[in-house]
Structure 1
Amino acid sequence: MEKVKVRLQPIVSRINLPTVLKTAVLPGDSKEALFIATQVGEIFYIRDGSLRTFLDIRPRIIKLGTSEAGVSGGGYDERGLLGLAFHPEFYYYGLFYLHYSVAGTQGPSALPESFSPNPCDPKTLNRRWINRETQYNHIDTVEEWILPLNGQPQKRRTLLNLRRPFFNHNGVNSLNFSPETGKLILTTGDGGAGYDPFNLSQNDIEIAGKIIEIDVAKNTFIQNLPIVTRFHELPVPIQETLTVIAKGVRNIPGISFQRYSNQYIKYAGNVGQDLVESIFSFVHYKPIPVTQLVQAFLMKYEMDQEGFINFGWRGWEGIFPTSIIGGCSENSSLDEKIAAYYNEAIRTSVRRIQPLTSYFHKDQRPDKFGGTALTGVQAYIGNRISGLTGSVVFTDLARKEESRSPARGVLAYTRIRTDCKLNDFSVIQTDYQFGSKSAYYVSLGSNLNQSTLYLGVYGSMKVTDFNQGTIFEIIP
């Protein structure tokens, strides 16, 4: 693939950890502003070079990165303000949508100990999430807000309240509108803990591990919406607003749409476990109404899922059957991979879609890299960076090469092959000198017509290390 070089042009610095980067035209304005949502709960926008506050919901956000959160790593956290989306007619009606982890909802988590599957111990392969109302980590909410003319943003209604089993895999950049259907897309992870201990992602009735469409045009208002984990626990009027596009999701940094002829290619990444990061693409899909999923669950029959998208997790980690990695006693420099869920890998082998591209946590090939975690996927149809036109660009948190310190994120790209087979990828070379500071690539975004790309970089892995974020525009 063609070698592409870009420059990173700083736009704003010293902000908190940026989770969402996207543009919108404010009501009454004439040009796009760049909006930046931070994990701690601030939303800023940049207009004519100046940074302004759009909304600050920090009091509504769960306390992040603290020891009582049951989070190891002292300050690392995957909760907070995770999604921001503007209604396609935001300019006229001022409607926008938020996904965040709610203050004061901290629980003990669904398992008291760390989880690892053991093929020799069937109990570890068949765990169940019981006592859900007491054994959970936190509650996430999806809300509709409105920006009145000459007023401050205010909450209009709650769309979903979700009880989450663990602190991680809640999705990020998790709300996006489909230009194809006009519906709000919620991308939610499998609930966390690694290896999806309860296999929520393949269970049709579980909300975790899915890509969900929400028909906000139905304008359904329900006071005191229940806090749920499964679709059948939702009130029927809410069920009627939901369809499910995909399952088998581990954790997903949003969905990106690329117009091609008279249809849209959908791109979505699946963050890996220990071996591989994957980016999937699909054009045609057959969403299943949640009311049908609930009926099948209650009547105990299996639905026809022809055309339903399945990313394969937890049986498959991208192109590999999900594996447990163990050290080799004879040679500490080597390791062995054991299939974690052999029967599940067989069951989903023909139902899953293949990735568009994969990259690996260990890769000795020249011009490649060892990845850590996929953090952004974005279609690019601009012409300024000619080598990237029509491609899908993605970011990895940090190169895994142990010799490299401080940390450096990675920018790369791939394309769809005409024969639809797995494609290679190419690292995008950048010119920016970060000096002695770490530079984790934490978010990727674009403007409305996908002709400009934005990159969010953070100087720490800890949400408790404040004001270490920089937003760049990616330019030729």
Structure 2
Amino acid sequence: MIKVKVSLRPIVSKLNLPTVLKTAILPGDSKEALFIATQVGEIFYIREGVIRTFLDIRPRIVKLGNSEPGVSPGGYDERGLLGLAFHPEFYYNGLFYLHYSVAGTQGPAALSEPFRPNPCDPRTLNLRWINRETQYDHIDTVEEWILPSNGQPEKRRTLLNLRRPFFNHNGVNSLNFSPETGKLVLTTGDGGSGYDPFNLSQNDMEIAGKIIEIDVVKNTFIQNPPVVTQFNELPVPIQETLTVIAKGVRNIPGISFQRFYNQYIKYVGNVGQVVVESIFSFVQNKTIPVTQLVQAFLMKSETDQEGFINFGWRAWEGAFPTATIMGCSANPTFDEKTIAYYNEAITTSVKRIQPITNYFHKDPRPGKFGGTALTGVQAYMGNGIPALTGSVVFTDLALKEESQSPARGVLAYTRIRTDCKLNDFNVIQTDYNFGSQSAYYVSLGTNLDQTRLYLGVYGSMNVTDFNQGTVFEIIP
């Protein structure tokens, strides 16, 4: 793959941590505006160089920076305003959608200490999430809002209320409309901790660890749905609005659609555990109506999942069986990787799809990098950077190199191979000088026709360190 060099052009700085970057055309307007959602609950838009506030829901957001037992306090958090999507007819109907963690819903978390699977201890492999009404971390909500023709945005209805077991793996850039079906796609995660302690991602009844489509045209006439963790707890009218696109999700930073003749290639990244970060693609996929899943559960039968997308987590981390690391104090390069869930890896091996590319947390090869966490995946269809046209661009939070200080994020790209085998990837060189400031690459966005790319950068890993964000456009 050829080496690509780009420039980063700052658009706006001194923002809070940017979680969503996307464009839309405001009702009555003629040009796209760039919308920026921040983790603390602000939504801004920039049009012709001027930044304005679109919506501020900070009072509705859970108090950020108070994370789990066993996690050092100080502001690292994965909750907040995580998703923003504009209805395909937003220009005409003013409808848009939000996904966020709700203020005042903080709980004690589902486990009192960090989880680690032990292949020799069956108890750690068969944990169940019990007492869910009291043992949880917070509640996430998905809402429909409207921008009236002459007023301020206002909430119309709640689509889902989800109880989450831990503070992390709630998804980011988690709401997008499918150009294929016109439905709202929710990409979240397995609920958090690490290693998916309760194996929620492979359980068909669990909402966690799935990609879900919501038919927003169907009105359930339920203004405030119950707070749930499983599909079978939802009222039937809400079940009827939902289909499941995929399972085996650890944590997804959004979904990207790339038009290819008369169909769409879907791209998603699955954030890794200890070995590898993975990007998947699929074109044809079987979706399963939630009513069908619930019916099979009640009848104690299996749904036919031939052709259904399964990313393989928690048994598989990308192309590899999920590992736990046994440290070699004498020489960390020889750290031993032990398969965490051997039996599950066997049973899931033929049901899962392979990633189109992997990149590692440690990679000694020249021209490669050790990554930390995938934070964005976008198809690029522009001609401005010809070497990237038709490719998949992705971002990683920060280089893993121990000597790397201050922190630097990574921009890279890959392509789909025609034989569908794993492809290589290349780092995209950037010429921007961040000086002595840390630069975590926290989000990646695009405009409506995917001809422009936007990068969100933050100067700290802590959401409680305010106003350290910059949004760039990636240019030739």
Q: With the length of structure 2 as denominator, give the TM-score of the two structures.
A: 0.99
Distance 1:72 1:16, change over 3 A: same
Residue 105 (structure 2) pairs with residue 100 (structure 1): no
Residue 255 (structure 2) pairs with residue 255 (structure 1): yes
CA contact (8 A) 2:70 2:113 kept: no
Aligned to 1:113: 113
CA contact (8 A) 2:213 2:242 kept: yes
Letter of the 1:231 partner, please give it. Answer: F
Letter of the 2:454 partner, please give it. Answer: Y
Q: Distance in 1 between matches of 2:333 and 2:3?
A: 32
CA contact (8 A) 1:278 1:359 kept: yes
TM-superposed deviation, 1:73 = 4.2
Aligned to 1:161: 161
CA contact (8 A) 2:21 2:37 kept: yes
Q: Distance in 2 between matches of 1:163 and 1:267?
A: 27
CA contact (8 A) 2:277 2:360 kept: yes
Q: Distance in 2 between matches of 1:474 and 1:332?
A: 37
Aligned to 1:363: 363
Could you say what secondary structure the match of 1:124 adopts?
A: helix
Aligned to 2:473: 473
58-67 vs 144-153, which moves further? 58-67
| Runs of 4+, deviation exceeding 4 Å | 67-71
TM-superposed deviation, 1:150 = 1.0
Aligned to 2:464: 464
Q: Distance in 2 between matches of 1:422 and 1:119?
A: 29
Could you say what secondary structure the match of 1:296 adopts?
A: helix
Mapping of residues 441-452 of structure 1, within 5 Å: 441-452=441-452
Mapping of residues 129-278 of structure 1, within 5 Å: 129-278=129-278
CA contact (8 A) 1:71 1:167 kept: no
Structure 2 alignment gaps of length 5 or more: none
Q: Distance in 2 between matches of 1:352 and 1:251?
A: 16
Q: Distance in 2 between matches of 1:449 and 1:283?
A: 19
Residue 311 (structure 2) pairs with residue 311 (structure 1): yes
Residue 86 (structure 2) pairs with residue 86 (structure 1): yes
Aligned to 1:392: 392
Could you say what secondary structure the match of 1:201 adopts?
A: helix
TM-superposed deviation, 1:239 = 0.2
Q: Distance in 2 between matches of 1:221 and 1:355?
A: 40
TM-superposed deviation, 1:81 = 0.1
Mapping of residues 309-348 of structure 1, within 5 Å: 309-329=309-329, 331-348=331-348
- Offset from partner CA, 1:13-63 (integer Å, 9 cap, x none): 000000000000000001000000000000000011011000000000000
TM-superposed deviation, 1:130 = 0.2
Q: Distance in 1 between matches of 2:132 and 2:328?
A: 39
Could you say what secondary structure the match of 1:300 adopts?
A: coil
Could you say what secondary structure the match of 2:12 adopts?
A: strand
CA contact (8 A) 2:68 2:167 kept: no
Q: With the length of structure 1 as denominator, give the TM-score of the two structures.
A: 0.99
- Offset from partner CA, 1:196-239 (integer Å, 9 cap, x none): 00000000000000000000011222033100000000000000
TM-superposed deviation, 1:327 = 1.0
Could you say what secondary structure the match of 2:84 adopts?
A: strand
Q: Distance in 1 between matches of 2:435 and 2:258?
A: 35
Could you say what secondary structure the match of 2:202 adopts?
A: coil
Q: Distance in 2 between matches of 1:351 and 1:223?
A: 38
- Offset from partner CA, 1:170-197 (integer Å, 9 cap, x none): 0000000000000000001000000000
Aligned to 2:54: 54
Q: Distance in 2 between matches of 1:229 and 1:242?
A: 14
Letter of the 1:110 partner, please give it. Answer: A
TM-superposed deviation, 1:72 = 2.7
Q: Distance in 2 between matches of 1:73 and 1:334?
A: 32
Letter of the 1:313 partner, please give it. Answer: W
322-331 vs 238-247, which moves further? 322-331
Could you say what secondary structure the match of 2:343 adopts?
A: helix
Q: Distance in 2 between matches of 1:333 and 1:376?
A: 29
CA contact (8 A) 1:363 1:370 kept: yes
RMSD after superposition: 1.0
Structure 1 alignment gaps of length 5 or more: none
CA contact (8 A) 1:255 1:267 kept: yes
Q: Distance in 1 between matches of 2:68 and 2:126?
A: 29
CA contact (8 A) 2:189 2:208 kept: yes
Could you say what secondary structure the match of 2:96 adopts?
A: strand
Distance 1:407 1:243, change over 3 A: same
Q: Distance in 2 between matches of 1:8 and 1:111?
A: 42
Distance 1:68 1:422, change over 3 A: closer
Q: Distance in 2 between matches of 1:298 and 1:380?
A: 44
- Offset from partner CA, 1:154-175 (integer Å, 9 cap, x none): 0000000000000000000000
Letter of the 2:2 partner, please give it. Answer: E
Aligned to 2:282: 282
TM-superposed deviation, 1:68 = 8.0
Aligned to 2:294: 294
Q: Distance in 1 between matches of 2:242 and 2:20?
A: 23
TM-superposed deviation, 1:70 = 7.4
CA contact (8 A) 1:398 1:440 kept: yes
CA contact (8 A) 1:445 1:455 kept: yes
TM-superposed deviation, 1:246 = 0.1
Residue 32 (structure 2) pairs with residue 6 (structure 1): no
TM-superposed deviation, 1:314 = 0.3
Mapping of residues 426-445 of structure 1, within 5 Å: 426-445=426-445
Could you say what secondary structure the match of 1:216 adopts?
A: coil
CA contact (8 A) 2:86 2:97 kept: yes
Could you say what secondary structure the match of 1:460 adopts?
A: coil
CA contact (8 A) 1:157 1:221 kept: no
Q: Distance in 2 between matches of 1:132 and 1:230?
A: 11
Letter of the 2:40 partner, please give it. Answer: V
Q: Distance in 2 between matches of 1:14 and 1:185?
A: 30
Letter of the 1:96 partner, please give it. Answer: F
TM-superposed deviation, 1:71 = 4.7
What is the percent sequence identity of the aligned residues? 85
Could you say what secondary structure the match of 1:20 adopts?
A: strand
Residue 24 (structure 2) pairs with residue 24 (structure 1): yes
- Offset from partner CA, 1:363-394 (integer Å, 9 cap, x none): 00111000000000000000000000000000
Letter of the 1:420 partner, please give it. Answer: C
CA contact (8 A) 1:110 1:165 kept: yes
Letter of the 2:207 partner, please give it. Answer: I
